[in-house]
Amino acid sequence: MIKEKRRKARRRKKILIALLVILLLLALLALVVIKVFRVKQVKVEGNELYDAEVIEQAVLSDEYSWNSLYVFLKYKFVDTKEVPFIDTMEVSLEDPQTLRIKVYEKGRMGYLYISSIDENAYFDKDGFVVETSAEKVTDTPKITGIECNEVVLYEKLPIDEDTLRDILTLTQTLKRSNLVPDSIAYGADNAPVLKYGNVKVEMGSLELLTQKVERLDKILPQLSGMQGTLHLENWTEETTNIVFDKKE
């Protein structure tokens, strides 16, 4: 009986020692994570439209972002709020004090001229202003006929939501088809008119947009060197006649 009690006592002692060792190891691990994994340097790659500092601030956005391991795990395994102007992002640890952020930006979809600042406001596929500049970027259409007096960098264009949605739908569809125009003009009826050199394209409403763009893709090469207006505004699946008003 006494031997059994001693055996149990020794077993309890071993278990206690094992638990203490585990606790000490966990405490040591926590100390290493806290003391060693501290963000001292951030390397940003793939950024063209945004300064590295802007991306760094967007990624290290909460009170625990001083810890490099936390930031790595946060963007690796946990669903997080999207950074508005970044399409995809990869965060890795170069060493315990160095974070590497590889970003894939959404890119420019078009721009509006803002008279109050005498600059162009470039926006991405979600309507966020990615850049304001006096320069004109090639392969990016100018949007006219839309009233916008001021913008805030990295925020959405302050225009009517329905209008913005239509602009983004149109520009993205055209870009996917490699049919980016020189400009897109909106009139009183809010129907877009595309311009490719000396050729104007009346699009009408955005109903059947994909089918209209498919027709445009086939017709536009045949209009090279010409001047006039291509009418797609009345095209439907039942009324398939497409008119080109040629100017001499």
Q: Is 154 in contact with 57 (CB distance < 8 Å)?
A: no
Could you say which of 89, 105, 121 is where a domain stops? 105
CATH code of the domain covering residue 56: 3.10.20
Could you say which of 50, 80, 105 is where a domain stops? 105
Asked if residue 98 and residue 122 are part of one domain, the reply reads no
pLDDT of residue 50: 77
For residues 244 and 119, give the distance between their C-alpha atoms in angstroms, rounded to a whole number.
35
Asked if residue 122 and residue 90 are part of one domain, the reply reads no
Q: Is residue 34 part of a domain?
A: no
Contacts of 152 (CB under 8 A, 6+ apart): 129, 158
Q: Is residue 19 part of a domain?
A: no
pLDDT of residue 123: 94
**Structural domains counted in the chain:** 2
Could you say which of 73, 105, 137 is where a domain stops? 105
- Cα–Cα distances in angstroms (integers) from residue 13 to residues 7, 23, 33, 168, 212, in the given order: 10, 15, 30, 69, 80
Q: What is the DSSP letter of 82?
A: P
Q: Is 49 in contact with 130 (CB distance < 8 Å)?
A: yes
pLDDT of residue 31: 64
List, for residues 4-28, the tens digit of each pLDDT value: 666 666 777 777 777 777 776 776 6
Q: What is the DSSP letter of 154?
A: T
Q: Is residue 192 part of a domain?
A: yes
pLDDT of residue 59: 87
pLDDT of residue 64: 87
pLDDT of residue 194: 97
pLDDT of residue 116: 93
Helix 209-219 with 161-176: angle, nearest 10 deg: 40
pLDDT of residue 240: 77
Asked if residue 162 and residue 51 are part of one domain, the reply reads no
Please identify every stretch of the chain with a pLDDT value under 50, giving residue numbers as ranges: none
**196 is in which domain, residue-wise?**
110-246
